[in-house]
Amino acid sequence: MRTSFTTASTLPAKIDALVIGIASSGTLPAGLGYTRAELSAIGFDGRCCQTTIIPASGQSPVRVLVGLGEMSALTANTVRLVAASAARAGARYAKVATTLVTDARGNAKDNAQSVVEGMALALHRYVDLKNDKSSLPALTSVVLIARTSPAQVKAGMEMGIATATAVCTARDFANTPPSHLTATQFAQHAEEIARKSGLKSTVYNRDQLIAMGCGGLVGVNAGSVEPPRMVKLEYRPTGARGHVVLVGKGVMYDSGGISLKPSDASHASMKMDMSGAAAVLATMGALRALKVKTKVTAFLMCTDNLPSGSAMKLGDVLTMHNGKTVEIHNTDAEGRLVLADGLSLGTQLKPDAMIDIATLTGACMGALGKKMAGVFGNNRGVIDQIKQASTRTDELVWELPLFADYRRLLDSNVADMRNIGGPLAGATTAALFLSEFVADVPWAHLDIAGPMEADGDDGWLNRGATAYGTRLLIDFCAQFKKPAASKKK
């Protein structure tokens, strides 16, 4: 993350611009020097996320006014959006101070976290491979002015820095071209992140995966010259309450394999088919900084999916880590195969909850579009905690049915199941497939195929990889409570 944040109790002398939040009604900030009628005359009425710039004059620096809308309607989620708009409007100023944290009133800690997240995420760009880096915003330094409750503001800022750093890291991984980020390289990055953030890491190579019986991950990898990797990460805080397992789909590039995808534009997005694993890795890297009190274990299931003479074929049968056999009817339904091994390994640990996150089905994107993930699960408490994390982070989810009757669509003539259902209810049949590998562990599955990528800059999202699910998973782990064992109702 390029943006640095600090706090101050008064306006610093050397700033290039000051960001001020203005509500759509009520009194204007003291010393603004403009009436509502004057602001209205330049088209600014304080509507949420509206911005306008006032030139420097006399003692006053350039001011970026950003609308807060109706004060009574402000939430942490709108503050995050407001901050993102302000960062875009002020992107040309290198050093910016802002009174937003207190302008928004309410909880200073939550406001500070939202302001940092909104600004840092809106300012993020992936430019590693550009010679011309002029698309990078000049804005790299933000001072949060906290006249009151400075400790609260600082604490919120630190949380925002940890979550935004995680999101930027995951976005960079997902934006990286497939030949610049192989499973081997991704595992090396994971080890480095683990070292820096107090996690135990174990990397498993192909021989070890074969010995462990990870037939799904090894099978998907069969067509590739790049070997697979599984990364296990362990976060072990003292006095932990509860144990969560996270499993991420890390398909470094999804060509479809023998069931080759057509060469349309969306094909280039398949470098992002490791977005689930990236979100999990970034989440794990943030837990210590956020003093999360939940024990968390992660499995990153990494390989690409390519066709060749050694690739798995339609009709082949794989034996997964839990011993179940799967007949391959479409090599493009590879995500569920790599996840199955991770879920089976996670189940052996008997965690209090297990979450997988995967760019799994075009069907889920077809159903929900690009602004929300699908969530499925076998336990009401876990699904509800995912929904609560979603509400707090504004990473939207919508629950879809794990409709047991459709399990028959996965029936195989020769094996325990096939890896695809029919043409209908593709997101549900994929989730039903995964449910075969979780036994009775309370489990939820996030299908992020839709929101993995943004088509344009929008709020705190920028065009390209979104790292969707990173903040949601961090929040889920931080707030986690052991769910009742009861099955879903």
State the binding partner of 426 from ligand BES, Mn ion, Zn ion, none, CB within 5 to 8 A by kind: ligand BES
Of the candidate residues 226, 332, 394, 475, the single one contacting ligand BES (CB under 6 A): 332
d(CA 480, CA 474): 10
Report which of 134, 103, 99, 141 is spatially closest to residue 119, judged by C-alpha positions: 141
Structure tokens at 54: 């006032």
* 261 in active site: yes
Query: Site mask, Zn ion, residues 287-326, x = CB under 5 A?
Result: ----------------------------------------
Q: Where are the beta strands (DSSP E) in 44-164?
A: 51-54, 62-69, 95-98, 141-145
Q: Which stretch binds Zn ion (CB under 5 A): 160-168, 232-240, 268-276, 282-290?
A: 268-276
Of the candidate residues 103, 117, 158, 273, the single one contacting Zn ion (CB under 5 A): 273
> Which residues 348-387 are close enough to bind ligand BES by CB under 6 A?
359-363, 365
Q: Give start and end residues of each alpha helix (H) in 308-377.
A: 335-348, 362-368
Looking at the Cβ atoms of 46 and 219, the one nearer to Zn ion is 219
Looking at the Cβ atoms of 251 and 474, the one nearer to Zn ion is 251
Verify binding: residue 447, Mn ion, rule CB under 5 A.
no
Task: Provide the residue type at 278 as one letter.
Answer: A
Report which of 20, 5, 2 is spatially closest to residue 143, judged by C-alpha positions: 5
DSSP 308: S
d(CA 466, CA 99): 28
Looking at the Cβ atoms of 327 and 334, the one nearer to ligand BES is 334
**332 three-class SS:** coil
> Which residues 321-350 are close enough to bind Zn ion by CB under 5 A?
335
* Exposure string over 441-462, b if 16+ CB within 10 A, otherwise e: bbbbbbbbbbbbbbeeeebbbb
**Count of residues engaged in binding ligand BES, rule: CB under 6 A:** 17
Evaluate whether 447 touches 364 at the Cβ level (below 8 Å).
yes
> Which residues 298-357 are close enough to bind Mn ion by CB under 5 A?
332, 334
Verify binding: residue 454, ligand BES, rule CB under 6 A.
no
State the binding partner of 255 from Mn ion, ligand BES, Zn ion, none, CB within 5 to 8 A by kind: none
Q: Nearest-CB residue to ligand BES?
A: 362
d(CA 82, CA 65): 10
* 371 in active site: no
Which residue out of 261, 370, 387, 488 is catalytically annotated? 261
Of the candidate residues 110, 172, 226, 254, the single one contacting Mn ion (CB under 5 A): 254
**194 three-class SS:** helix
Q: Which residues bind ligand BES (CB under 6 A)?
A: 254, 273, 330, 332-335, 359-363, 365, 420, 426, 449, 452
Q: Which residues bind Mn ion (CB under 5 A)?
A: 254, 332, 334
Enzyme catalytic residues: 261, 336
